[in-house]
Amino acid sequence: MGRLTNHQSATVSEDQILAALRQVQEPELGGDLVSRQMVKHIAICDGIVRCTIELTTPACPLKDQIRSEAEAAVLAVPGVREVHIEFTANVRRPAGIPEQSAIPGVANVIAVAAGKGGVGKSTVAANLAVALAQMGAQVGLLDADVFGPSLPLMLGVRGQPMAVSDANGQPMMLPLSNHGIKVMSVGFLIDESQPVIWRGPMVSQLLRQFLYQVAWAPLDYLIIDMPPGTGDVALTLAQSLPLTGALIVTTPQQVATIDVIKAMEMFRKVNVPLLGIVENMAYFIAPDTGKRYDIFGSGGAERLAQQLGVPVLGQIPLGMSVREGGDNGQPAVISDAPDAYADIFRELARQVAARISVLQYAMV
């Protein structure tokens, strides 16, 4: 809340408040708050002004900057004694996606992918989903890595989806939920001790059911934990999904970054926007000495980012609590342990949400 100590008696009008807010720029998208139609409500009473500003995502990383600049602008209006800024969010569906291929009630679909296995892709997907939910977004998580479904364990979710019917009598499944997100995985439908031995068409059909015959709505973000690599299933998903964008997970060493280029080129060839790169296991901080060790090398993600023209959205350290959380169904982002790096996962979520907003407005 902003406040002036010297009370002024001038009458304040809504036009004056709007004129003040026209001086406040949206720091990522450009343009002022009024022109971008982000100011949704203004109430004025005895010099006290209440404004509602609609953001493009509840995970906006620059919310505090917008608040402080809006408060300062409104407090400069003669007669204003106090300012109260409230935020809402409207996560928009990206332009250019044919309505017939959209998942009903889902605004954005994000693929979390990797060029190879073993880089912690599912850990990133799980913590990204929970972090977005912590910030107020409605989030779903689909485990599309059908040959190695790990998200039920990582999220501590057990059980089988309930069969229901939609308003048209069509069969649907209710996703399971935990940690504030909706979850669907082939791991809910099979004996976890048995291997999944299916051919590509069977896998594609199952995943299509998981997308269009699951009661996801309403969702701001549906996170897809993709199969690793650029094989048939991954390519089919990339071609057929109404993807807002793809997030690529890598580790710093050269052998991992080589495979990342292949994965990113796969998405580019099917016209899926690249949101950015996440460097997992980026370094290790020894808990007893505080010394940093670059166990898998360093600089791999930055080199890729420069080569491919996409940003590095996060660098996640190795941490015992990150691994332990994945094993016991408690994602690191809900932990307060220092080596869970919850703040780093939350900042990654903010950067991903901001990148989506920027890409969407660039298309308009």
Residues flagged as binding site for ATP: 115-122
Residues forming a β-bridge with 274: 246
Positions at the binding site: 115-122
Inter-residue contact 256 to 303 (CB < 8 Å):
no
How many other C-beta atoms are found inside a 10 Å radius of the C-beta of residue 104?
12
- Give the C-alpha separation, 291 to 308, whole Å: 32
Inter-residue contact 352 to 271 (CB < 8 Å):
no
Alpha helices in 60-175 (DSSP H): 63-75, 121-134, 151-155
Look at the alpha carbons of 138, 266, 116, 306 in this order and tell me if their dihedral is positive or negative: negative
Which residue in this structure is represented by tokens 């089988």? 160
- Give the C-alpha separation, 260 to 258, whole Å: 5
Distance of CA 93 to the CA centre of its chain: 14
Inter-residue contact 179 to 133 (CB < 8 Å):
yes
- Give the C-alpha separation, 315 to 345, whole Å: 9
Alpha helices in the chain (DSSP H): 14-21, 63-75, 121-134, 151-155, 200-212, 232-240, 254-269, 300-308, 320-328, 342-363
Strands 171-174 vs 162-165: parallel, antiparallel or unpaired: antiparallel
